[in-house]
Structure 1
């Protein structure tokens, strides 16, 4: 039985707005130097900031809409959402524009669209809905878990073909947490976890560029001007920031282009350089706060679908942040994955804020216990 609609989780809402605000400032700071180069392709120091601002405004509208759109109604659209997202994944492999050896974006003329961000939202919604309907079968592998593994695995393989190992692994990790939350047996989860680790290892060893990245992760100085360049300069950026940082807009590694992808994948290194250890800790603290409020909503939600949906959405965001920060700090091998709400990227921003809107919607129906 549905509970009476209450107030939105203000702490979660404020946390996301803080991350979004920091992201806008840091995208401008990290990108203004090379974007404003009069001999470069953009010739406008505000180029990336303006695009990020538009994405943030659209994302806020999407978040507001999902906050007020009853999450139960998402059940009506699960099949259509899933079919559309898979069609977009196939389309990007055929028609996608290539950047740095990867086909992850569809050129829509006025903007670029990254289908993997849509797929994450749709797969999480589908798995949460399916597991909530099969509560009595969750502890049985073939009738209970297999259908969702096939869908999530198919999506992960299409994402891996782009190639994008980081997003594929994050999606599968999120589905794994959903199955745990739904009450899957420990033996099944152990087997799935082992298979997932084996799959990641195989993906690394079967692809030469991933193998080079893994070897650089083990010893960056073995190839300092090649595969180790990203890790070395990210760590140097973090180290040069010290406790309080060089100051906003004063990051030398960002300004002199030593730090690669400074406004996207490695923006946390730019934060560490300009805002210091305290700034980096603030970002981590905000994601911890987001995780606490999100899982609290999932635990106190009165129905299984809402509970699993909230758990899946918050896991997807937090796991992506963990991977991004792990890469920048040299804790994980380099993979192209952005920091939610902070890194440049309109598609990621819009769908992440849409996911938060769904979580905030669910928070209106949670119990006080």
Structure 2
């Protein structure tokens, strides 16, 4: 016992603001999952507390995972980068075997007995670790087409295609966005960023003009009321929930759309229920909390002790930010409706465990930062070129 206490005393403090914000978001998520899932839980489990009990378990175990990751030296992931990447690819491939479980037309889960795995969630952390591992040793690697840009492009293409085939457009965008964002942090020149976005935009525009599943999917969000009982159903119900909530909402627990109107309200569209019950003010406060969290994560990124830590922390920050933006876009019908969880808030174990585990890694990076967080706040914010200069890249 004495040895354990001595070991704990030697652990350096982490960014406590990140801890507080994550705890607040997870607790808020548990409350909103209970509220949003009340009638669905009655219908699915026979008890209004079915989803609440599961989410409480996910949250408590998530805190354990986050704590463990916060005290394990993040450098261990250098050894795990390749095995984790291979494991992630194997899981994605297994989706197209009898092990893959189809729910509502999408095959995103591998169910083995009581265990349910979402390979798309594992893919997010796998690419963060691998890209950091690959680009960290040599700052000039990202400037080479053959050694930097092409391998990352192949990685993004492989993961993107395998995830889109589930189909799961938003997770594919998240994974590709993480890879692209980490390449930018590593020193990728602007001309490549602009070129990639241009190619992607042209490709999506061309696909939207085809008479295919994705062609219909990519255009249905533009006018969801055109087909309110078909492709536009979820978007219409979400917009009705947001509109009904108004400025201050109907009150916690008083949502109408969760009464079996909006499908799976505790999952991807939980923000719509938040808007209906807590109003625009509630959503703005929630987004403010996320904004502060992302900023704190960015501070950890800037103060990382080495290039590997900088890229890891940056990738985790990108994962949270991209997923937040995509979820808000889906709920407000600004992009096609597709499965994307609201970080720390939506129902589900896989997404919550991955997010909280990733935040644990970020906290470990903050423990080893060159300067305490308080000192960072007094400095001018450092830009991308400052990071590149410090870690050996070209300005």
Short-chain TM bin: over 0.9
Q: What is the CA–CA distance in structure 2 between the aligned matches of 1:326 and 1:265, rounded to whole Å?
A: 11
Aligned to 1:138: 142
Q: Say if 1:360 and 1:207 are closer, same or farther in 2 by CA, change over 3 A.
A: farther
Aligned to 2:153: 149
Q: Does 1:174 align with 2:178?
A: yes
Aligned to 1:263: 266
Q: What is the CA–CA distance in structure 2 between the aligned matches of 1:309 and 1:215, rounded to whole Å?
A: 35
Count of paired positions = 362
Contact 2:305 2:365 in 1 (8 A): no
Among 14, 36, 46, which residue is 1:30 paired with?
Answer: 36
Structure 1 residue 56, shift from structure 2 partner: 1.4
Q: Say if 1:290 and 1:258 are closer, same or farther in 2 by CA, change over 3 A.
A: same
Structure 1 residue 138, shift from structure 2 partner: 1.5
1:257-336 counterparts in 2 under 5 A?
Answer: 257-336=260-339
Structure 1 residue 73, shift from structure 2 partner: 1.3
Structure 1 residue 283, shift from structure 2 partner: 1.5
Q: Does 1:366 align with 2:372?
A: no
Q: What is the CA–CA distance in structure 2 between the aligned matches of 1:178 and 1:6, rounded to whole Å?
A: 27
Q: What is the CA–CA distance in structure 2 between the aligned matches of 1:283 and 1:136, rounded to whole Å?
A: 39
Q: What is the CA–CA distance in structure 1 between the aligned matches of 2:18 and 2:125, rounded to whole Å?
A: 19
Deviations 1:325-365 (A, max 9, x none): 11111222222211111111111111111111011110112
Structure 1 residue 295, shift from structure 2 partner: 0.8
The more displaced of 205-214 and 283-292 is 205-214
Contact 1:294 1:310 in 2 (8 A): yes
Which runs of 5 or more residues in structure 2 are unaligned?
Answer: 1-9, 377-395
Aligned to 1:67: 70
Contact 1:231 1:334 in 2 (8 A): yes
Q: What is the CA–CA distance in structure 2 between the aligned matches of 1:34 and 1:116, rounded to whole Å?
A: 25
Aligned to 1:351: 354
Among 1, 9, 25, which residue is 2:15 paired with?
Answer: 9
Q: What is the CA–CA distance in structure 1 between the aligned matches of 2:231 and 2:296, rounded to whole Å?
A: 38
Contact 2:40 2:264 in 1 (8 A): no
Contact 2:222 2:334 in 1 (8 A): no
Q: Say if 1:78 and 1:157 are closer, same or farther in 2 by CA, change over 3 A.
A: same
Q: What is the CA–CA distance in structure 2 between the aligned matches of 1:223 and 1:109, rounded to whole Å?
A: 38
Aligned to 1:21: 27
Which runs of 5 or more residues in structure 1 are unaligned?
Answer: none
Q: Say if 1:126 and 1:199 are closer, same or farther in 2 by CA, change over 3 A.
A: farther
Structure 1 residue 137, shift from structure 2 partner: 2.2
Aligned to 1:210: 214
Structure 1 residue 42, shift from structure 2 partner: 1.6
1:157-168 counterparts in 2 under 5 A?
Answer: 157-168=161-172
Q: What is the CA–CA distance in structure 2 between the aligned matches of 1:63 and 1:200, rounded to whole Å?
A: 37
Aligned to 1:191: 195
Structure 1 residue 220, shift from structure 2 partner: 1.8
Q: What is the CA–CA distance in structure 2 between the aligned matches of 1:345 and 1:285, rounded to whole Å?
A: 23
Q: What is the CA–CA distance in structure 1 between the aligned matches of 2:314 and 2:205, rounded to whole Å?
A: 27
Structure 1 residue 233, shift from structure 2 partner: 1.4
Q: Does 1:237 align with 2:241?
A: yes
Q: Say if 1:77 and 1:188 are closer, same or farther in 2 by CA, change over 3 A.
A: same
Q: Give the TM-score taking structure 2 as reference length.
A: 0.88
Q: Say if 1:272 and 1:196 are closer, same or farther in 2 by CA, change over 3 A.
A: same
Q: What is the CA–CA distance in structure 1 between the aligned matches of 2:157 and 2:347, rounded to whole Å?
A: 28
Q: Say if 1:204 and 1:86 are closer, same or farther in 2 by CA, change over 3 A.
A: farther
Q: Say if 1:300 and 1:14 are closer, same or farther in 2 by CA, change over 3 A.
A: same
Q: Which runs of 4+ in 1 moved over 6 A?
A: none
Q: What is the CA–CA distance in structure 2 between the aligned matches of 1:108 and 1:350, rounded to whole Å?
A: 18
Q: Does 1:249 align with 2:253?
A: yes
What is the SS of the residue equivalent to 1:243? coil
Q: What is the CA–CA distance in structure 1 between the aligned matches of 2:251 and 2:28, rounded to whole Å?
A: 14
Contact 1:12 1:290 in 2 (8 A): yes
Q: Give the TM-score taking structure 1 as reference length.
A: 0.94
Structure 1 residue 202, shift from structure 2 partner: 5.0
Q: Say if 1:5 and 1:131 are closer, same or farther in 2 by CA, change over 3 A.
A: farther
